[in-house]
Amino acid sequence: MAHLVLASSSPRRRELLTQLGLAFDIFSPDIDESVRAHEHVADYVERLSLQKAEAVQAHFPDSVIIAADTSLGVDGVILGKPISKQHAFEMWQQISGRTHDVYSGVCVRTKDKIYSIVVRTQVEFQTLTVQDMEDYWATGEPVGKAGAYAIQGIAARYIPRIEGSYSNVVGLPLHETVELLKTVKVLN
């Protein structure tokens, strides 16, 4: 089997990829994750996954690289990770009582080929009270999470429904990742 490298330091992506029964190494690239002017969230996550894969391929030229990036989109605005409690509250006010999109860009790259896909999942969030936000922030879970929440954690209590891939919202759409790995013959 080909040597696999996950281009991410995300513990959630590591856990998800481990569910597939694959052996892999981890190498987290240092790339500029700034959003470009007027960049749609789908384009943003695809661009970052491609850049991550390219950066890691330079270190592991004979390996199969798996790279991903996940972000939320609301009204055409990309919601990244919160930089403060106030920022998290602002994000929650944007998604409270409505449905938002979670996009992941996934890239599987070898020295000869590049395959990528963007996966979208719609997530419905209940209306949050200020007390809900205070209580959730106090758990520490929102820190370092796109949109300031973790669907696989305490935030599940605020999400009555999703449409699409659950693992996409966590950070790596497994079905689509498997399909990409099949194209490079890592999986049958």
| 173: its two tokens | 């759409």
Q: How far apart are CA 31 and CA 78, in angstroms?
A: 18
* Residues ≥6 apart with Cβ < 8 Å to 106: 49, 66, 67, 68, 116, 117, 118, 119, 172, 173, 176, 177, 180
Residue 135 falls in the annotated catalytic set: no
Q: Which of 25, 43, 62, 69 is catalytic?
A: 69
| 135: its two tokens | 């209580």
Q: What phi, psi does 3 have (nearest 5°)?
A: -75, 125
Contact at 8 Å (CB) between 161 and 94? Answer: no
Contact at 8 Å (CB) between 150 and 84? Answer: no
Q: Catalytic residue numbers?
A: 69
